[in-house]
Amino acid sequence: MRARRLGSATLLLTCLVAAWSAPAQAQDLPRVRLVATGGTISNKTGGRLTAEELVGLMPGIERYAKPEFEQFSNVASAQISLDQWLALARRLNQLFTEDAGLAGVVVTSGTDTLEELAYFLDLTVRSEKPVVVVGSMRNPSTLGYEGAANLLDAFRVAAAPDARGRGVLVVLNDSINAAREVTKTDTLRLDTFQTRGYGILGVADADRIVFYRKVERKHTAASEFDLANVTALPRVDVLMTYQGAPGDLIKAAVDAGAKGIVIATAGAGATSGTQQDGISYAAEKGVFVVSSARAGSGRIPARQRPADAAPNPRFEHLIQGEDLSPVKARILLMLALTKTQSGADIQRMFLEY
């Protein structure tokens, strides 16, 4: 009889301990907030999934994080304006500043311009806490929709302590890539987001989040780009080099109000046709021209100006884009022009970011 009483008492104590510890463990989970902007990941037939509905799609999220959510927008990525980019970056900075207990943020985006948004946030969200940008290639009404799995991986990465200080991350198809380096390489395939030349940062495997390396260029908390007094981003256009490319397109962009131009050049900075005439015209008008490789990888090294060289407007306004893709060179140039009109300073930024 006594043994039976002791067994019952032990069972009761075990249940009480479990009841007490379960909520405590739930409270100890890192809080991760979803800031949804739209994109294919939410674009089901007949309507769009809300941020709340997206959070409800993730099976087992309670094992990794305590999810929160808010709806920033719900449109295709190409419909988001530069003013909304500014507003989104300010919102993320506000979240990290006002909520010290927030572990990280997940941002949904359409995949068409996801790499651009991710790099803009990489330069403007000034926190070491993780920001993870995620999307999907298939919509929720399609067989094989991978959005829920990508979203769960994004939350797991944002909740991982090792994700701190690595800059803005892009998570799709179980892979973790750096915002600065990743690019969309295929229009339809699920493994479209890749880092050419350098490789992924890590993986989101079933057992744990694994990181292999860090990005050496400056980003996030180390960034000098402060949006506090920026009301609008300057116009920067992208033009491509091709056989016989006319320089009058460069002149037209300048005359239309462009403050900067990125040329997606052939090789390591080669132009064609009369583009050099257009570049000279831009320099004379005080417009900066960045050379970026159209090849998809590889550097265009910065040129060294001789110490005894006479001032040359063309040289001062021609910037080498290092290994940034044309669309990302545009983003860095836009932000650079909010701070300086010095060609030497802008070239420094392309070396550091």
Q: 298-352 pLDDT, tens per residue?
A: 999 988 766 666 777 778 999 999 999 999 999 999 999 999 999 999 999 999 9
Long-range (24+ apart) CB contacts under 8 A made by 5-12 are none
Residue 330: closest CA among 217, 272, 270, 253: 253
Rounded CA separation 133/109 (Å): 7
The answer to whether 32 and 105 are in contact (CB under 8 A) is yes
Residue-level pLDDT at 15: 41
Give the model's pLDDT for residue 22: 43
Residue 40 among the catalytic residues: yes
pLDDT digits (tens, 9 = 90+) for 158-198: 999 999 999 999 999 999 999 999 999 999 999 999 999 99
Q: Which is the catalytic residue, given 40, 111, 124, 183?
A: 40
CA dist., res. 164 & res. 143, Å (int): 35
Give the confidence band of 18 by pLDDT, cuts at 50, 70, 90.
Answer: very low
Contact 293, 322 (CB under 8 A): no
Residue 231's pLDDT band (boundaries 50, 70, 90)?
very high
pLDDT value, residue 338: 98
Lowest mean pLDDT among 7-21, 175-189, 261-275: 7-21
Q: How many CA atoms lie within 13 A of 264 on its CB side?
A: 15
- For tokens 């419909």, the residue is 79
Mean pLDDT of the chain: 92
Q: What is the mean pLDDT of residues 92-96?
A: 98
> Which domains, from first to last, does the chain contain?
27-222 (3.40.50.1170), 236-352 (3.40.50.40)
Helix (H, G, I), strand (E, B) or coil at 184: strand
Mean pLDDT of 75-85: 96
* Residue 195 vs residue 7, higher pLDDT: 195
